[in-house]
Amino acid sequence: MGIGGRDRPGTQMDEEMDDLSRIHTPVMLERTIELLEPAVARAGAVLVDATLGMGGHTEALLERFDGLTVIGLDRDTDALGIAAERLARFGDRLRPVHTVYDGILDAVAGEGFSAVDGILFDLGVSSLQLDRAERGFAYAKDAPLDMRMDASAGITAADVLAEYGEGDLRRIFQEYGEEKLAARYARAIVRARAEAPITRSGRLVEILSDATPAALQRAGHPAKRVFQALRIEVNAELSVLEHAIPAALDALAVGGRMVVLAYQSLEDRIVKRTLQAATTSTAPPGLPMELPEHQPRFRLLTRGAELASPAEQEENPRAKPVRLRAVERTRGNA
């Protein structure tokens, strides 16, 4: 479903768009374009930006390749509206679609294509979501504990804190936040919510800070991993990603390329595992020769995960944790 602009006065929208344009710096932009170029530079090429956000990567791609059409996916209707407004000058070369990225095959078919030439995933929380305090993603800003990437559907972080048992809270803090103090934080939350609902980020940060031993107070912000875990749980990010990457590989035409930018180890492990399987022969051990049907359908374009340059990391702090991986489709299905 295409998404248009916001119903706000033009001057307010223009001011907001200028602000958002300044704060949104696409990560590893030139390397991403370099990897995708052989697949998308031709006239009539189609690329899926599976995480459109405010359209930073897509804007650069549409400017660079004037024969390219981009299907831009995002579950966040605010982001889709802003991207559509920012990139309106490209006309129908941008096709915004409101969907979670594991719906990539339906989105591609819905836009009338059987396969695409390029796919980009820029995973994690977007600049828009982090910088709008009212969305509740940032532990440094007091706001309602929402954290839904699609603010129109699903449970909120406040719902999780109110309804999950101590064991489930501990589990998600351990699994999704890799938090060593998961048990301690889960107990503290259960005690605190017995007195009053935990509905704001400032209150949650206070509870976590009080529960952190003094010796660990300087080892990083006590809320960082818990907020990550809550966000992943609210948006089912890892289970969605486990379905999305194989679906994206199926959507690529022969010669098509996919680039994935991951920002935390849990995401990167899923991407690495899936791409390794797709680029490995399925031939049983001991065969004297590899039959064509056992040959991998994809080849890796990067050696391991690539990092942003030290200069980019210094200029754009959001580039520090990024891990970039890329593949090319070399043959069709058997």
**Per the annotation, does 19 bind a ligand?**
no
**Per the annotation, does 74 bind a ligand?**
yes
CB of 262 closer than 8 Å to CB of 325:
yes
Say how many C-beta atoms besides its own lie within 10 A of residue 266's C-beta.
18
> How far are the Cα atoms of 57, 149, 164, 194, 222 from residue 155, in angstroms, in the given order?
30, 11, 12, 20, 24
**Per the annotation, does 228 bind a ligand?**
no
Token pair belonging to 31 = 């390397």
Alpha helix segments (H runs only) across the chain = 10-23, 29-40, 56-64, 77-86, 104-110, 127-131, 157-163, 166-177, 182-195, 201-211, 224-235, 237-251, 265-278, 310-315
**Per the annotation, does 78 bind a ligand?**
no
**Per the annotation, does 101 bind a ligand?**
yes
Looking at residue 63, the DSSP 8-state letter turns out to be H
* CA separation for the pair 64, 60 (Å, rounded): 6
Scanning the structure block, which residue is given the tokens 């009539």? 44
**Per the annotation, does 56 bind a ligand?**
yes
> How far are the Cα atoms of 120, 137, 212, 217, 233 from residue 223, in angstroms, in the given order?
30, 11, 10, 11, 15
Backbone angles phi, psi at 280, to 5 degrees: -110, 140
List, as residue ranges, the binding site for S-adenosyl-L-methionine: 55-57, 74, 101, 122, 129
List, as residue ranges, the binding site: 55-57, 74, 101, 122, 129
